[in-house]
Amino acid sequence: MPRVIITTSNNLLFDQRVNKITLSLEKAGLEVWRSGRNYPAIKPPENRPGRTILLNILFNKGPLFYLFLNIQTFIFLLFNKFDLIWAVDMDTLPAAKTAALLKRKPVIFDGHDFFSELPEIQHNKTIKKAWQLLEKTFLPGCDRYFTVSPGLVELYEKKYNINFRLLRNLPLEKDLTPLPPLDGDPKIILYQGALNVGRGIAQTIESLQFLSEEYRFVVVGTGDCAGELKELTKQLELEDRVNFTGPVPFEELYKYQKGALVGICTYEDLGLNHQYSLPNRLFDYLQAGIPVLTSNFPDMAEIVRNNETGLVIDNLEPQNVANAIKEACENRQLRKKWQETIPRAAKIFTWNNETRQLKDVKNLIK
C-alpha cells in the first residue's frame, strides 16, 4: 500500500485538519503516517487513524526550534519509506522538499497560514525576510498546493505566481442536527483554539466588565499568550467568570460546546494572514449549533453574513465586543432565526463536501 507521510510542527493533539486529511487519504487506499513534536507532552488518543510519530525537539520556540525541527524531520524522512509527502505549513517544507527531491517522490504543500505575514513577526524585519527567503526558495516546484481560504489562495498567487487549491478547514458532519438554544443560565461565551496573539481573547475577557454576572467565558486551548490572558483575568478580578480549560483533544470539545450561546472567532488587524484567515472554529461552532461573533475581514465575514449564522463586528473595543455578545445572547428574534439558518449552514459546510479536492491526490504517486 502506498504510504503518505504528513509533516507537522505540533504534537497533533489539536490538529483536526490533519486528522480529517488522514481519514480521506486512508479512504483513498493510502497508508498514512503523521510526524510532529512531543510538546506539549500530551499523547494523542490511540484510536485516531494513521500512525503518529512524535519527535523530541531540543528547543520549543525561536530559530533553533525551526532548525532542529527540520533536521529531525529530514532524518526521519530519510530513513523511512514514503511515496508522497504532505508538508503542513512553511515550517516543515524545507525538510519535506529536500527529502522528496532526494528520493524523487512528490510533495504536497498545505499552507494553513501565510508564514511571512504571521502577526508575531510583523515587527521583526529580519525574521520576516528570513521567512520570505524560505518561501521563495522552497515553495516553487511542489507537486500540488492547498490552503484554507480564498484570500490566501489569491495572496499566494499574487506573491509567488503559484496556483493553490482551496481546501477549507471544515468539520466532519455530526449525526445530530445542531439547534442553537434560545437562552442559557449562565450565558456561556466560548473560545476554542490556540491562545495566540491578536485573536480577540483579551478583549473578550475585558468585555465581561460591561456584562452582567450571568455571563461566563470558557477558553478552551493553550498557546503563547495563555499566561498573559490568565494574568489579565486576575488583574480584572474575573477569575470566577473565566474558565481556562487548558489543552483539550478535539474529540472532547463537545463537552465545552454544549450550551454555549456564542462562539468567539475574532482577529485583530495584524497583517494579511489575519485578514484572510478562515479558521476551523468558525465552522466547528456551526456544527455544534453555536452562533459566531467574528471580525469584519473578507472571508470570515462573507461566510457569516451570507449564511446568517452570527454577527460581524468592525472593531474589538471591549465595549463594542460586549454589546455584540449581549445582542447575540439576548435577542430572541435573532436566536429564533439562527435556529433555522445554523442547521442549514451546518449541513453545507462539512468536510464530506470539501474532499472533492483530494480525489486525484493518489494519481501523484507513480
Whether 16 is covered by a domain: the verdict is: yes
Whether 99 is covered by a domain: the verdict is: yes
Do 138 and 156 sit in the same domain of this protein?
Answer: yes
Region 163-187: mean pLDDT is 90
Do 254 and 151 sit in the same domain of this protein?
Answer: no
Do 87 and 117 sit in the same domain of this protein?
Answer: yes
Do 339 and 360 sit in the same domain of this protein?
Answer: no
Do 214 and 134 sit in the same domain of this protein?
Answer: no
Whether 307 is covered by a domain: the verdict is: yes
- The pLDDT > 90 percentage for the chain reads 79
Do 17 and 125 sit in the same domain of this protein?
Answer: yes
Does residue 42 have a pLDDT over 80?
no
Whether 164 is covered by a domain: the verdict is: yes
Tally of domains within the chain: 2
Domain interval for residue 150: 3-169+352-364
Residues in Cβ contact with 151 at an 8 Å cutoff, skipping those fewer than 6 apart: 272, 275, 276, 278, 298, 299
Whether 264 is covered by a domain: the verdict is: yes
Do 159 and 206 sit in the same domain of this protein?
Answer: no
Residue 278's pLDDT band (boundaries 50, 70, 90)? very high
pLDDT for the residue numbered 141: 95
pLDDT for the residue numbered 39: 83
Do 241 and 279 sit in the same domain of this protein?
Answer: yes
Please answer whether residues 325 and 332 qualify as being in contact, where contact means their C-beta atoms are separated by less than 8 angstroms: no
Do 324 and 197 sit in the same domain of this protein?
Answer: yes
Whether 174 is covered by a domain: the verdict is: no
Does residue 43 have a pLDDT over 80?
no
pTM of the full structure: 0.92
For 16-64, give the DSSP string: HHHHHHHHHHHHTT-EEEEEEE--S--PPPTTSSSEEEEE--S-SSSHH
Does residue 236 have a pLDDT over 90?
yes
Whether 256 is covered by a domain: the verdict is: yes
Do 130 and 160 sit in the same domain of this protein?
Answer: yes
Do 358 and 322 sit in the same domain of this protein?
Answer: no
Do 191 and 334 sit in the same domain of this protein?
Answer: yes
For position 26, which CATH number holds? Answer: 3.40.50.2000
Whether 182 is covered by a domain: the verdict is: no
Which residues on adjacent β-strands are paired with residue 246?
220, 221
More confident residue, 267 or 116: 267
